[in-house]
Amino acid sequence: MKKRFILVLLLSAVLTIAGCATGTWNPNKEKSEWGKDHAECEETIRAGIRDNPQAYDTMDEMVLIKSCMKKKGWRKK
């Protein structure tokens, strides 16, 4: 379980850096709001995963967070 936590933490850091580096944009928000929205998506998705951890893997988590960010209006340039 500790390895999974470390992997998820590392993945989150990579996603945060990648999100900043890839030039995501939202027509209704400032770029500075990306981090807040991403943190909210991570928290929401992880809460759902905690309810049934065997049903998800790291790739599922990434896809779900990306989908959450799209719902908030974030797109890649």
54 beta partners: none
pLDDT at 2 over 90: no
CA dihedral 36, 41, 46, 51 (to 10 degrees): 130
pLDDT at residue 68 tops 80: yes
Three-state secondary-structure class, residue 52: coil
Q: What's residue 5's pLDDT? A: 72
Reported as a single tens digit per residue, the pLDDT across 11-35 is 677 666 655 555 889 999 999 999 9
pTM for the structure as a whole = 0.68
Q: What is the mean pLDDT of residues 57-73?
A: 94
